[in-house]
Amino acid sequence: MIVTEVWLSEKPDFKLLTGSALDRLSFNGTQLMKLLFGFAVVLLHASATILHATEPALPAGFRALFNGKDLQGWYGLNPHSVPKADDPKREAALKQMRDEFPQHWSADQGELLNIGTGPYATTDHDYGDIELLIDYKTVPKADSGIYLRGLPQVQIWDINQPSLPNAPDRNPNRGSGGLFNNTPKSSGRDPLVVADKPLGEWNAFRIRQVGSHTWVWLNDKLVVDGAVMENYADRSKPIPAKGPIMLQTHGGEIRWRNIFLREIGEDEAKKILAQTASKQ
């Protein structure tokens, strides 16, 4: 038997009971109304507590990029299939990606859900030097990533996949968080440690990018330490000064939540780069 006490403003002379003990109580209409009101208060308080517990606190200095309710602030774009600037089909292709976006992405129980297909979720705004917090949860054989300044990428793997002799530079079992589109064997290309949680659990990234230098923490473990992110579009040039953040689709369902961003100012950026230079 479970006993639940509810103290009302006019404190009745009984305790509210559930189970067989409730059947042995007799009370008038006023007491019944108080009983029902008491239960309603308890349920409302419990519901508010649960909702509050699922709403993460916004870290100081950060803004939320995903509101948990809809796709506001995001649009669809696959940078690898956009026609060139002088192609007459370019505008139609861009419009089609935007139109298809909500068919593949949705807000689901406060999470940003992708079914594994469609254009990448792309921020409306471009960003330069940033600190990004973002959680993700994915499925077996997953392959996804986070594009910074519109370029690939901080890699996400299912680390249970083995290395294969016919693909020596593709090593999911070395862990997520590396700059996978950097030149193989270059700094930052593979993570320093394996920090992934088991499939089905949430993983938390903290990503900092200042200039071309990138730091990645996965589940509070440093996996990329100030490595230069290469410009995948043109390796002879540095990455652009600004660009959108993009969440990749690559064949497997992935969920995102707690997407928070802080822009790093010029003075802070100079200090970070100076500290980086002093360590080299």
For residues 49 and 71, the model is more confident at: 71
Same domain for 210 and 79: yes
Contact yes or no for 116/144 (Cβ under 8 A): no
Is the pLDDT score of 18 beyond 90? no
Same domain for 141 and 49? no
Handedness of CA 202, 203, 206, 207 (dihedral sign): negative
> For the domain that residue 221 is a member of, what is the CATH number?
2.60.120.560
Q: CA–CA separation, 35 vs 207, rounded Å? A: 52
Both 28 and 74 in one domain: the answer is no
Instruction: Give the number of domains in the chain.
Output: 2
Task: Indicate if 263 and 243 belong to the same structural domain.
Answer: yes
CA angle, residues 187, 188, 190, in degrees to nearest 5: 110
Do 35 and 13 belong together in one domain?
yes
What per-residue confidence (pLDDT) applies to 11?
A: 44
- Rounded Cα–Cα distance for residues 27 and 102 (Å): 55
Query: Domain check: are 37 and 110 in the same one?
Result: no
Q: Looking at the structure, do residues 30 and 108 belong to the same domain, yes or no?
A: no
Return the percentage of the chain with pLDDT > 70, whole number. 80
Residues 108 and 145 in one domain: yes
Structure confidence by residue, pLDDT tens digits, 221-265: 999 999 999 999 999 999 999 999 999 998 899 999 999 999 999
Instruction: Give the model confidence (pLDDT) of 58-90 as tens digits.
Output: 999 999 999 999 999 999 999 999 999 999 999
Provide the token pair at 5: 């006490």
Domain that holds residue 132: 63-279
Asked if 222 contacts 192 with a C-beta cutoff of 8 angstroms, the reply is yes
Query: Are the C-beta atoms of residues 210 and 185 closer than 8 Å to each other?
Result: no
pTM for this entry: 0.81
Q: Which residue blocks in the chain are alpha helix, DSSP H?
A: 20-23, 29-54, 90-104, 266-279
Same domain, 51 and 68: no
